[in-house]
Amino acid sequence: MRKIILLTSGILCSTFLFAQNIQQVLESVESNNLALKSAYQFKEADIRAERTTNNLSNPDAEASYQWGKPGELGNKQTFTATQTFDFPSTYYYRNKTIGHRIAQREAEYNQQRLQILLEARNLCIELIYLNQLYKEFTLREEQASLLYTSIKRQYDLGAVNQLDLNKARLNQINASAEKSKIDAERNGKQILLNQLNGGIPVSISEEDFPTPEVPVDFAQWYQTSIGVNPYISAADQQVQAALRNLHTSKSNGLPKIKLGYTMEHLADELFQGAVFGISVPLWENRNQVKQAKARKFASEYQMNDITTSQRSYYADLYQQLVQQQANCQLYRETLHAMSDEKLLLKAYQKGELSLLEYLMELTYYYDTKTKALELYRDFNLTYNAFNKLYF
């Protein structure tokens, strides 16, 4: 008995632990998602790789020991150590380029993060929709069973014919089948949500759809959103990196400087001093500036394309939101004004409706309720896509 109590308590605690609201689910997914963990590590590796591109080249060192012939000449020993430096401006512009590339990599990671969180939030909305639909079809199944029992009783008394009994039975079967189908779909969505959470079970505690806050002024909203849009940010950083890279390419055309120390020891004589050299890049940097200019122009065109497409994308979503919001309000008011199941049942029991008319009216009413749930779901899914920049 004690084991049963403990097991039951454990199950209840587990259910309580993983039943979370949408925001908590998103936080859990962000912490546990394996694709995001992998992307984060790749991002960190890329950032470290970028920072190594502005290091100094390796120093050079040479030493030699030479025997003199004839022996009276003595032995000769030499040692040289040198370090080559790019022109100072090259390091400056290269460092600026690295900064922009790192910022671009951060923005690209944020794109992947927002996409995964959008998928998780959409699954939460789908689960809320399916939970409500399952609850709705549970009631429909119960009512269909009661109706069938009532018609069966009347059939046994000879008050109704076989056709009416068949209609009631089909109505009951359809409700049960649809309920089972919804349950299977709900389980599938739950599996996908657990997968996004790194395979850790998580459930949504909210039973009602969130209420989207559609902005009144799209232009103002969009202007504010530009600063947090990782797609525009990544494109902008790519343009800035290309510009700095152009400056770097020009600096690469300036001479490289070699500094060092040299020593020569011959018999009782010692020579030592500084080494200074210069390397003029006549050949190795040919066409690099032209290539950097072409990349800069390409980045600017891409930036313009992304900026235009992002505005069009969100403008389209905003128009959908406004229309869906109006449709949801219309269905909400219509359902409130319509007759419900109890009134239809009373009309049937009083003989005001035949069984066929009753089932048709009931189906029409149920279809309207189902359509309303679909509209609420689609409204929230569209809002998720519209508002994902703020996840």
pLDDT of residue 323: 96
pLDDT of residue 77: 92
Looking at the DSSP bridge assignments, the partners of residue 66 are 76
Cα–Cα dist 235/69, whole Å: 68
In DSSP notation, 299-354 reads HHHHHHHHHHHHHHHHHHHHHHHHHHHHHHHHHHHHHHHS--HHHHHHHHHTTSS-
Closest by CA position to 164, among listed 175, 173, 176, 154: 154
Phi, psi dihedrals of residue 260, rounded to the nearest 5° = 180, -165
Cα–Cα dist 253/259, whole Å: 19
pLDDT of the chain, 391 residues: tens digit per residue: 444 434 444 433 444 345 789 999 999 999 999 999 999 999 999 999 999 999 999 999 999 988 877 777 788 899 999 999 999 999 999 999 999 999 999 999 999 999 999 999 999 999 999 999 999 999 999 989 988 998 899 899 988 899 989 988 999 999 999 999 999 999 999 999 999 999 999 999 888 999 999 999 999 999 999 999 999 999 999 999 999 999 999 998 899 999 999 999 887 889 999 999 998 887 877 788 999 999 999 999 999 999 999 999 999 999 999 999 999 999 988 887 776 777 777 787 778 888 888 788 888 888 889 999 999 999 999 999 999 999 8
pLDDT of residue 47: 96
pLDDT of residue 277: 92
In what side-by-side order are the strands of the sheet with 256-266? 60-66, 76-85, 256-266, 269-279
Phi, psi dihedrals of residue 146, rounded to the nearest 5° = -65, -40
Q: Note the pTM of the prediction, 2 decimals.
A: 0.86
pLDDT of residue 339: 61
Phi, psi dihedrals of residue 389, rounded to the nearest 5° = -65, -20
Q: Where are the beta strands (DSSP E) in the chain?
A: 19-20, 60-66, 76-85, 203-204, 256-266, 269-279
Domains of the chain, CATH where assigned? 18-56+101-255+286-390 (1.20.1600.10)
